[in-house]
Structure 1
Amino acid sequence: MAAWAEGTPCWVDVSLPDLAAGKRFYGELFGWTFGEDRGAQRAHYTDAFSEGKRVAGLYAKQDGRMPTAWGVYFATDDAVALSARIRDAGGRMLGEPMVLGELGVMAQATDPAGAVFGLWQAGEHTGFEKKDQRGSFCWTEVYTRDKESVDPFYERVFGFRGTDLPDSSIDFRVWALPGTGPGADRPVGGRSVITDAFPVEMPGHFLSYFSVVDCDETAATVVRLGGRVTATPFDIEYGRMAVLSDNQGASFAVVAGPEPKPDQRPGTE
């Protein structure tokens, strides 16, 4: 059995050209500490911790053509079987599932519109030890120009129940994992449409959110540390959020408000 129900976002990591600079940046921004370096053969992969609990990974880019970006991983009991479903639904696997010793099995895929996401079949590394709390991951959403192919893809692959957000100025669809009992479906992420407000060259991509105490203070700290504010802090139904880039160009979002519960959607860009 997976540590998380299949389809649950269970891990995030970021690929960086300068790993030491990334540790300094996120260490000051979120108060993260860092575990042991797994060595050159594993891209110097390092786990980040918040209050002693595992929250994310950082690793060094091995090729300049790789994006500097945050990636999200969805849990699975069987990465091979899920890979077959991804292909059948119109997605593409970026290689076969890879066994990482006793840690688990990893794979990467793209949806029909090209957004990249990961799969994680837990071994000794079960993914998040802290989630939906300050200083940790709380939400993810895919941005796409092709909702007609992307919506049925994720719902077929992961069994998400998709619900369009009513009375919204943006075209947004919430993904929920089916639960039991009335109102038991559990939101885990969503889909937003890339509009003309975005650069024409922007590809489909995932944006992951971290929970913080003060959105405006976090945005100011990002600038002080050499990063950039992509979307200035603004109020949403669930609190206050901003879209940011770190000092090497990796984009992420933060949201501040009442600490999210596992079944609560923190917001949209």
Structure 2
Amino acid sequence: MAAQPEGTPCWADATFADLEGAKSFYGDVLGWTFGESAEEYGGYTQAYSGGKAVAALAPPMPGQDDTSSAWCLYLASPDVAATAGKVRDHGGEVLLEPMQVGEFGSMLLARDPSGAVFGVWQANRHEGFGKRGEPGAYAWAEVFTRAPEKADAFFPGVFPYRVKRIEDEHVDFTIYQVGEDAVLGRMKMTEEFPPEIPPYVNVYFGVPDCDAAVAKATERGGRLNFGPMDSPFGRFAAVGDPQGAAFAVIDMSTTKGEMPTIVDAS
């Protein structure tokens, strides 16, 4: 599998104070199995679905806040140092300077001007998701922000995105495309979001049955934040795990309703 085109979501990971608890939760909810923890990389542990790498879990790094957990989405780059420059040039903040991760690749962490944190990955041996768009694997992601105009200027400035807009008076939603492929969404956070929730990137994982996944998540101590809801893209729900990391589950085989009208917004 070749490295993904620039700007394409290519990996996701999260840190957990209780790594074993997280492995148990995601193993039950998403059907993941786990490899051996890489102690030389701080206990970084890859998750697998059907033998394919789909995400990773890790304990907090020394000095890192271990009271909150969050999923981090990584966007592909052919040159993380150049991407770091673009992040700064367009008003973003580099939180973790470009660093090489052994022979696997190079990474950085950044925050867009509206406040959402994301990662950038320059692949070497580790090219990213072993599969996507299937149960147990990454399916989609959206930048949730209270300043959509900032996000819509920043992300297409840093990455080669074309911007499309969904025509719907009820939501402020844009789609970032690489060529003709939709790779990332941007949703405006409304007053329904408590003010203490910062902007974030919501990562969707595929499941064979949305309602069953929600039931399992809440049974295991997680919480339901929104849904389940039918859509033309699948039946989905926003949930949180017992350690506070928010994510979404989507059954892409169960669709309902007409596809929205999408217009050019570049």
The alignment's TM-score, normalised by the length of structure 1, stands at 0.90
SS of structure 1 residue aligned to 2:4:
coil
Alpha-carbon shift at residue 43 of structure 1 (Å) = 2.4
Give the 5 Å matches for 1:249-268: 249-258=244-253
What's the counterpart of residue 8 of structure 2?
Answer: 8
Alpha-carbon shift at residue 155 of structure 1 (Å) = 0.8
Is contact 1:97–1:107 with CA below 8 Å preserved after alignment? Answer: yes
Q: Distance in 2 between the 1:258 and 1:112 partners?
A: 35
What's the counterpart of residue 202 of structure 1?
Answer: 197
Flag as ranges the 4+ runs of structure 1 deviating above 4 A: none
SS of structure 1 residue aligned to 2:192:
coil
Give the 5 Å matches for 1:2-81: 3-39=3-39, 41-62=40-61, 63-64=64-65, 67-81=68-82
Q: Residue 186 and residue 168 in structure 1: after superposition, are their counterparts in 2 closer, same or farther (change >3 A)?
A: farther
Q: Residue 91 and residue 2 in structure 1: after superposition, are their counterparts in 2 closer, same or farther (change >3 A)?
A: farther
**How many percent identity over aligned positions?**
43
Q: Distance in 1 between the 2:65 and 2:234 partners?
A: 37
What's the counterpart of residue 264 of structure 2?
Answer: none
Q: Residue 220 and residue 129 in structure 1: after superposition, are their counterparts in 2 closer, same or farther (change >3 A)?
A: same
Alpha-carbon shift at residue 257 of structure 1 (Å) = 2.8
Whichever residue aligns with residue 20 of structure 1, its letter is E
What's the counterpart of residue 152 of structure 1?
Answer: 153
Note the residue ranges of structure 1 that are not aligned, 5 or more in a row. Answer: 179-184
Is contact 1:89–1:153 with CA below 8 Å preserved after alignment? Answer: yes
1:243 aligns with 2:238: yes
What's the counterpart of residue 224 of structure 2?
Answer: 229
Q: Distance in 2 between the 1:118 and 1:220 partners?
A: 30
Alpha-carbon shift at residue 259 of structure 1 (Å) = 8.4
Q: Residue 79 and residue 66 in structure 1: after superposition, are their counterparts in 2 closer, same or farther (change >3 A)?
A: farther
Note the residue ranges of structure 2 that are not aligned, 5 or more in a row. Answer: 261-266
The alignment's TM-score, normalised by the length of structure 2, stands at 0.91
SS of structure 2 residue aligned to 1:236:
coil
Alpha-carbon shift at residue 37 of structure 1 (Å) = 0.7
Q: Residue 87 and residue 259 in structure 1: after superposition, are their counterparts in 2 closer, same or farther (change >3 A)?
A: farther
Q: Distance in 2 between the 1:96 and 1:188 partners?
A: 25
Whichever residue aligns with residue 52 of structure 2, its letter is K
RMSD of the TM alignment (CA)? 1.9
Show CA shifts across 1:198-221 (max 9, x none): 101221110000111111110000
SS of structure 2 residue aligned to 1:175:
strand
> What is the number of equivalent residue pairs in this alignment?
255
Alpha-carbon shift at residue 239 of structure 1 (Å) = 1.9
Give the 5 Å matches for 1:62-211: 62=61, 63-64=64-65, 67-178=68-179, 185-211=180-206
Q: Residue 116 and residue 45 in structure 1: after superposition, are their counterparts in 2 closer, same or farther (change >3 A)?
A: same
Alpha-carbon shift at residue 168 of structure 1 (Å) = 4.8
